[in-house]
Structure formats: C-alpha cells, structure tokens
Amino acid sequence: MNLHPEAPIEISDGSSEFASEGDDDQLNQLKSDLLRCLDKIQTTGHVAVSKHHDAFINPGLMIADTLIPLPLVPRDAETIRNASRQAPFGKGDKTVVDTSVRNTWELDHTQFSVANPAWKAYIASLLEDAARNLAMSEVRAEPYKLLLYEEGSFFKRHKDSEKVPGMVGTLVICLPSKHEGGSVHLSHIGKKYVFETDKTSAFGLTSLSWFSDVTHEIKPLTSGYRLVLTYNIIHTGHRQISASIVGKQLERLRSVLLKWQSNLPFREKLVYVLEHKYTKSSLKLSNLKGRDRAICKSLYEVGLSCGFTIFLARMTRTESEDYDGYLDEDKNFTELEDIITCDGLAVCNSTDLEEDDILGSDLWNRDPDSEEEGEFTGNESMPPTLRYHDTVVVIVPMTKITLEHRPNENRLQTSLLTILENAIKRSSPNDALLPDVIDLAIKLQAKTLYQVALYAALKDPSSRLLVLGTIVRHIKEDHLKSPEKHIDWDSWFGTAFSGATDISLVVLADILNRIDALIQDEDLKVSFRTWKALITQRMVESKRSLDMKDHDYLILLLFTQSKDLEWLTNWFAPTLASKGSKLLICTILREIYANRERKLFENATDAYRYILRSSIEKLALQSNELRASYTPYISGAGGRESLSYEITIEVIRLGLDMGLSKEAIKLLEMSCINVHKSCLEPNAKTTLPASEVRNFLETLLTVLQNHKVPPNEAIKNMFAALFRNVLIGELPTRPVKLQGWEYKQIYCPRNYNECQELNSFLADANEQTREFVMVEQKRRHLEYHLTSKAVRCHTRKGRAPYGLVVTKLGTEFEEDMKNYEYRLSVIRDRFALFQCEYVKSLLGEKLYEELVLLKDTSSADGAGTASTSGRKRKAEEDLDGSSASRPKLIE
C-alpha cells in the first residue's frame, strides 16, 4: 500500500524513450564499471576527520614533577617551554631543526606523564571514534609527543613519516588552551580539509586524526598557546590501509559517475545490493555496517561533487512458478520499498524496478528469503510465490529529482535541498548541475540553496556563464509578466556579491560586466546599471582583506573617481589602509606616482598624501623585512606576498619626490623606531644578517642624502644600533705574543686524554717538538685540531702504534696577526660608504669615529700582553658568527 501513490519523487522509471542499441552497450559498460568499482571499496572516503568535545577527561598532565592544570595559562606554558626542545623534522634520512620550516616546542612521551587513570580509556574511545570514521580496524594508539605552539609557531606542508612499524595514521588531541590561528590544512589527491582548533580552544578539546600519507600543514598561531598530545595509530592486523588506497577508490568512482553523466544523461537511477539486510526502522546511513557503510558514504561523498545523490531502500523480488515448475515471467517483478533519504526521511513507500536498473547478475540464484504456498483449487494447489529480500542503495542524478508535485512535504523537501546545498558546498560541482539547481531553487523559492549555488558559480569560471544566463532568463520572464514591477536586483545578486569575501574584486567586476552584456532589454539594462553603481562600494566593504588580486579593480576605481576628494579622503584611503595588504598599498602608491602627470588622473598628490597618511602604521618597516627579497608586483600575480625594506624605502622616496615630506618623514621615523627596538634584542646579531642590514642602510642613506632629509633622533638611534649590534658585532681580539715556544691550547669539548697531553705540550714554553704514540683514531683526532700553519705534523712509522710528531714553527703570533688584520679589514670595508658628511652630522663626531671610522680599535678590541699567557680562552668567532678556522683554540 503506497503512502504517496499519487506523486512519488521522480526516480521510478529506469527506461527512456531515447534509448538505443548504442545506449544499451554504454549502459552495460557503465554497469560493469560501476559494479567493479563498488565491489572493490573496503573503506570510507575520509582520509582525515576532526571532532570538538565540550565534555572530556582531564589527562592530569605532569611535566618536571609539576601538574599542569587546564585550560593552559601563560605561566604553565612557560613551564612546558622551559622543559622542551625545539621540535625537529625529517629531511631525507636526517632529522634537523630549522625554524623556517617548523617552529614548535616538543617533549618526547618519556619526558611527561598522564596522571589521570581514566585518560587511557578516554583515549581508547577517541581512537575508536576516529577509526570508525576512517574505516580503520585492528588499531591501537601509542603516545608520541607533547607539542607546544606559541605565537608565530607553525609547521609547513609535510607528511608524517612511519615512526614505528605498522604506523598508519596520527591522532592529535588539542587540549584546552585559548589561542587564535593554528588551523590544520590537509590535502590528498585533490581533496582538501581545513580543521580549526581555535574556535573552542578556551574550554574545549578537539581530536583530529588522519592517515600517515596525508599532506598537512599547521598555519601560524596568531595569539595564545596551542597544547597538543600526539599519538601514533598502529595497525595490528594483516590488511593495512592508507590514504592512497582511499584516494584511488574515490578517483575510480568519480570517473565512472562522470561517464554516466556525460554518456547516459537520460539514465535515471541504478541500484546496488548491500551485503546486510536492514529493517525499516534501522534503515539509515549512520546505521549501516562494515562495507555497506563504506560504500554508501563513498557514493554520498563522491556523488555530491559529480551531481548525484543516494537513497536507501529495501528491494523485494517476487517470482511465481507455473504448473510445470518453470518461472512464470508474467508474474515476476521487482519493487523498491521504504525508499528513504540518508538521514531517514521517507521518499516514497514503493515503486517498481526494472532489471536494467540493478547492478550485478544472478542475484536470485539462491534460496528464497520467504515462500508463500499457493492455495488449493480442486485437485491441485496453486504454484508457490518466492520472495527475495535485499537492502539496496539507489544512485540518482540530482537532475532527475523533482519536488514540484509535492510542495507540502516540508521535511522531505528540506532534506533534499540540504543534500543539494552540501553537494555544492563540499566540492566543485560539474558545469551542468549548477544551472539546474538554480532553476530548482527559483521554482521552489529556496533562497539558501539559490545563494549557495550562485556563490559557487561566481567562483567557478566553467559554470559561471551558464548560471548567469539562467538567472537573467528568469529575470526577463518575470519582467515580461509584470513589466511595471521594479526589479529587486539585490534579491537576485546582492547577497552573493556583497558576501563574496574570497573572490577578488577583479573577478566580481568582470561578472557584473557579463551580466550587463547578457541583459538585452534596455529598460532592464538601465535598471541594472543603476544598481551596479551602488553595489561596487559594498563589494569592497564586505571583504575582510584586500590583496594583490584586487589591485586592478582598485586602481581603476581610484583613477576614475580621484577627482572626488571627499570620497578619496573619507572612504577610499581609510578602507585601503584598514583592509589592504602592505604590498597592495605600496603598489597603488607607486602607480599613483607613475601616473601623477596624466590629465585623466586628477589629484594624484592628494591621493598619495591621504593613502600614505592613513597607512603609516601598516607601511612602517619591521625588522623581519630586512631578511626578505622584494619582488616587484606583476599585475594579476597570485601567491604569497613577499616584502622587504625596499618597498618601504621606495614609498618614502616617492613621497619626498612629490613634496610630501611631512608624511614621508613620519613613515621614516616609525620605521626607524621599529628597527631600533628589534636590534636591541639579545639575538639581533643572529636574526639580522649583516649583508642585508648594510644594503638597507646604504639604500636608505642614498634617499636621505638625495632629498637632504634633516637628521633626527629616530634615524640616529637606528643607524647607531645597527652599526654597533649588527655590522660591528664583537671586534676581533688582538693576538698576544706568548713567551718562548708556548702556544695557545686547543679546545676539545670532550677533553680526551690525548687532548690534555697535547695541551701540556702546547703550553710548555721550553719544548718545540713532541711525539705522541697512540692508535690511528687518536692520532687523527689530534691532527684534526692541528691544522694551523704554525705547526708541522708527520707520522713516524715503524712498529705499531705509530707516533705523531708535532713541531712548533714559532710563527703562531704572525699567523694570528694576519687573521686579525684580515677580520678587522672586513669590518672596516663594511663602513666605506658610510664615511661621509651626512652620517657624521647624523651620529655626531664621537659616535662617527667610534662606529664608522673604528678608531681606537687597539684599545677597544681587548689587546692583551704576554702576562695572559697560559690562560684558556673561548674559541674565536668569525664575523658571521660561525666557528673560527682551525685550530680551535681556547682564549
């Protein structure tokens, strides 16, 4: 008995009046390919999952005999960091530390403990949940690391190595610790995931898990601390899976579905028989078991991106025999019953099914699931009726679903519309789907679905024109029906355009022009252009940020409206300053300067002034920009914006050229203050490379001299600090001439016996030659330390062990002086360009002589006397901070 016999959703007829022999061949091939593909699926389509937990077990984290309470506070974060080391990463067959690739603190699992006995069971429950979602089986979780992310911490794109045999994945527990940023970006074979841990970080826990061969990246933390426990997921069974296996399964399935769509557009459904049977009450995607769950989830996930959805149903095959024991084909039929959506909502009670719709053969070559004996008629009984019961998944192109005949089925309509919305949000739908979805959304007045589909089309060039054409067609139809009615362009396009925060302004402007071109009716065109003039400002204001992808649009906007000083002062300049990236603002300023004399561009000087004045804080130089290389802007170029000091100096120079000395010098002063603060930090020498600092100061000095910028305190302080802390650093120590044959002693961090013996020889003022009889390994170790030209070494062979004969040549002081003079000359060469009147007037005579002319180096460099002989000294450092050339001597 049909619940809705009058109007089932249109998925019932598998045949088509358009079918042909060629279609039959293609259908058979499609069914064969799809059956083979589905039969091979063993796992779900997920390669990474994430889940937030408001209620959780506190692990009772113990570090250095200290209990760390949660949520984490800065004081306890410092305790963890002090006990941690900088986290390394694998590079080839080596493990290295490089904070430009990974900047995180870590503790090995042996360096912390979990005191709460309930934590073990809780982790087991998290693993079980992750394993179920990733379709893993026979796995266990093994503790690995505790990671602490602080402001600026990150880890660039990488894959987890197999740290232990059998490792198939990673389980990450993000403990309660308020932070911002640090999102996890994962990708595998074109499928991307973004997991955000900061939204519930203040009081919640987040668990994340993924296969080992999934590429992932931890984005920089912008504030707070992120505390993470990591576990290796170890496979303990025989059949091991990976993201690659999952990815290949999904790619094969996607390929087959796309062939269906392109080769057999009239095929309305196909049915696949599941392994298990389910009751009407249990028939729901979340209740499916084993492979059934994997197959249906894969079909659901992949289908969404290809324009397909799935339903679940129970299939009954009824067969009757004639009096001779043969099947009576006229009385054999197959029907679908209890057809439901994935979330359990009824679609229809029953519908007939053609055998062509079913994947597989010989499905009923088995004992029947039920049998109904025939009634007795006269001397004989009627033949029995055999029934075969299965649960199936019904695969349906979304274009074949219609709700128009069932307007009152609100729950069902909402469910199916949600399926369409998810299809568009989660993936890149095909070109043909979006126009059909737009049509359906307009007919059903489904505003959310309409906006989702339109937004997807705005981002997708391949379907954009088709969708825009569909919408314009509906607008024309409405206008023809009611020509006197005002067109509400906001309801058609406003929300999408003002909410398209991740689509560049250049693309949005192009879309508006295409809509204009599609509109042929003159009245509509006038109405649209009036609305278009209003929406442009809203487009800019709705974007969270502006970058180089928006450059061309903003330049055109500026050049066409620059004569409006009020617009320039009160809207454009403040908006650009608050939303624009530094590179974008600098590039626009450069183009204003380049076009300042064009007649079509009015008020160039005012435009430069107002933008610079509004953006000084954002444009001011930061110390990290002394390390980067600057690449001039190329129109339309994407990718990460790279900045250096050159871009800020250029803005200052162009501002001075345009007579805007007040604004330019204010930017200069703020830049100098920022750099001055950073170079006073203890690690300024290692973080600010001398070569880049020198280039920066030389470039800036040229601008200051050419524009006769008056010296001031901010400029002076920065120059002096960079000279003293970076370019000069520590002056080399003047060598001391020791008495007799005494030499400086070597420095051996392990202080081997043979090194102690060597040092006793070097310190002896009366001994010129000594033989060291020892095994080859020890002789080589001594030779490693004795590479100075002031000694001669040779091996005396004979009876083993051989002897290493070391002779002092008496030239150590001369060699040290040559090295000292060379190092001093390198420093002096750095300052050649700074020996000028401008720098002298900037620093004052005393600082100029000390920092530029390097006067009194003999007294400032720590020159010693012979009385210091025999005192051990630390190994000298070369000018770039690396170890001095051998021998490694103790000062």
Q: What is the pLDDT of residues 520-541, one digit of tens each?
A: 888 899 999 999 988 888 889 8
The verdict on whether omega for the bond into residue 887 sits within 30 degrees of 0, i.e. cis, is: yes
Quick check: 558 pLDDT over 90?
Answer: yes
User: For position 629, what pLDDT does the model report?
Assistant: 44
Percentage of the residues of the chain whose pLDDT score is greater than 70: 84
Mean pLDDT score of the chain? 82
- Give the mean model confidence (pLDDT) for residues 539-553: 91
Quick check: 830 pLDDT over 60?
Answer: yes
pLDDT band at 432 (very low <50, low <70, confident <90, very high): low
Regarding whether 772 and 652 lie in a shared domain, the answer is no
User: For position 886, what pLDDT does the model report?
Assistant: 32
Regarding whether 233 and 112 lie in a shared domain, the answer is yes
Decide if 108 is inside a domain. Answer: yes
Please give the Cα distance from 644 to 675 (Å, whole number). Answer: 13
What phi, psi does 271 have (nearest 5°)?
Answer: -125, 135
CA distances from 651 to 233, 243, 710, 843 (A): 53, 49, 18, 25
SS (H, E, C) 227-259: EEEEEEEEECCCCCCCHHHHHHHHHHHHHHHHH
Regarding whether 347 and 309 lie in a shared domain, the answer is yes
Decide if 73 is inside a domain. Answer: yes
User: For position 827, what pLDDT does the model report?
Assistant: 80
Short-list 379, 352, 126, CA closest to 229: 126
pLDDT band at 890 (very low <50, low <70, confident <90, very high): very low
Domain final residue pick, 205, 240, 275: 240
Quick check: 225 pLDDT over 70?
Answer: yes
Strand duo 385-397 + 270-273: pairing: antiparallel
- Give the mean model confidence (pLDDT) for residues 387-399: 88
Which alpha helices (DSSP H) does 543-634 contain, by range? 551-561, 565-567, 573-579, 582-594, 604-619
Helix (H, G, I), strand (E, B) or coil at 791: strand
The angle at the Cα of 355, spanning 349 to 356, to the nearest 5 degrees, equals: 115
pTM: 0.59
Quick check: 872 pLDDT over 50?
Answer: no
Using an 8 Å Cβ cutoff, are 177 and 72 in contact?
yes
Regarding whether 476 and 582 lie in a shared domain, the answer is no
Regarding whether 692 and 607 lie in a shared domain, the answer is yes
User: For position 76, what pLDDT does the model report?
Assistant: 92
How far is CA 1 from its chain centroid? Answer: 54
Q: Kindly report, residue by residue over 750-791, the tens digit of the pLDDT.
A: 788 999 999 999 999 999 999 999 999 899 899 888 988 899
Short-list 211, 217, 210, 305, CA closest to 254: 305
Helix (H, G, I), strand (E, B) or coil at 827: helix
Quick check: 174 pLDDT over 60?
Answer: yes
Regarding whether 280 and 395 lie in a shared domain, the answer is yes
Which alpha helices (DSSP H) does 99-239 contain, by range? 119-134
Quick check: 209 pLDDT over 90?
Answer: yes
Beta strand segments in 707-831, E: 769-773, 791-796, 803-808
Q: What angle separates helix 461-481 from helix 505-518, to the nearest 10 degrees?
A: 40
Domain final residue pick, 514, 544, 574: 544
Short-list 169, 179, 152, 173, CA closest to 216: 169
Regarding whether 553 and 530 lie in a shared domain, the answer is no
Place of tokens 């901070």: 881
DSSP label of 140 = E
Q: Kindly report, residue by residue over 673-726, the tens digit of the pLDDT.
A: 999 988 777 665 656 778 888 899 999 999 999 999 999 999 999 999 999 888
Q: Kindly report, residue by residue over 638-685, the tens digit of the pLDDT.
A: 444 556 789 999 999 999 999 999 999 999 999 999 999 887 776 656
Decide if 15 is inside a domain. Answer: no
Regarding whether 223 and 116 lie in a shared domain, the answer is yes
User: For position 727, what pLDDT does the model report?
Assistant: 83
Decide if 720 is inside a domain. Answer: no
pLDDT band at 122 (very low <50, low <70, confident <90, very high): very high
Quick check: 275 pLDDT over 70?
Answer: yes
Regarding whether 229 and 88 lie in a shared domain, the answer is yes
Regarding whether 210 and 123 lie in a shared domain, the answer is yes
Regarding whether 534 and 468 lie in a shared domain, the answer is yes
Quick check: 794 pLDDT over 70?
Answer: yes
Decide if 327 is inside a domain. Answer: yes
CA distances from 595 to 599, 652, 865 (A): 9, 17, 66
pLDDT band at 289 (very low <50, low <70, confident <90, very high): confident
- Give the mean model confidence (pLDDT) for residues 144-171: 86
Q: Kindly report, residue by residue over 20-32, the tens digit of the pLDDT.
A: 556 778 888 999 9
Regarding whether 552 and 540 lie in a shared domain, the answer is no
Structural domain of 190: 48-240
Please give the Cα distance from 394 to 408 (Å, whole number). Answer: 24
Please give the Cα distance from 406 to 620 (Å, whole number). Answer: 63
- Give the mean model confidence (pLDDT) for residues 242-256: 72
In the chain, the amino acid numbered 64 is: A
Helix (H, G, I), strand (E, B) or coil at 685: helix
Tokens of 390: 């299965």
Using an 8 Å Cβ cutoff, are 650 and 590 in contact?
yes
In the chain, the amino acid numbered 639 is: G
Please give the Cα distance from 806 to 782 (Å, whole number). Answer: 10
CATH of the domain at 110: 2.60.120.10
Short-list 515, 746, 553, CA closest to 635: 553
Per the structure, how many domains does the chain have?
Answer: 5
Helices (H) and strands (E) in the chain, counts: 29, 30
Range 699-704 contact pairs with CB under 8 angstroms and sequence separation of 24 or more: 699/645, 699/646, 699/649, 700/645, 700/649, 701/833, 701/834, 701/836, 701/838, 701/839, 703/649, 703/652, 703/653, 703/656, 704/838
* Residue 614 burial class via C-beta count within 10 angstroms: exposed 0-12, middle 13-18, buried 19 and up: buried
Q: Kindly report, residue by residue over 58-96, the tens digit of the pLDDT.
A: 999 999 888 999 999 998 998 898 888 888 877 666 677
Q: Kindly report, residue by residue over 96-115, the tens digit of the pLDDT.
A: 788 888 889 999 999 999 99
Tokens of 439: 């049509």
Decide if 200 is inside a domain. Answer: yes
Using an 8 Å Cβ cutoff, are 355 and 16 in contact?
no
Q: Kindly report, residue by residue over 6-17, the tens digit of the pLDDT.
A: 333 444 344 444
The verdict on whether omega for the bond into residue 801 sits within 30 degrees of 0, i.e. cis, is: yes
| Helix/strand/coil percent split, the chain, to 5 | 45, 20, 35
- Specify whether the backbone of 871 is left (phi greater than 0), alpha (psi in -120 to 50) or beta: beta
User: For position 862, what pLDDT does the model report?
Assistant: 40
Decide if 391 is inside a domain. Answer: yes
Select the more confidently predicted residue: 886 or 790. 790
Please give the Cα distance from 432 to 448 (Å, whole number). Answer: 20
Torsion of CA 520, 526, 527, 532, to 10 degrees: 100
Short-list 84, 109, 88, 110, CA closest to 158: 88
Decide if 537 is inside a domain. Answer: yes
Using an 8 Å Cβ cutoff, are 347 and 9 in contact?
yes
DSSP lists the bridge partners of residue 448 as none
pLDDT band at 883 (very low <50, low <70, confident <90, very high): very low
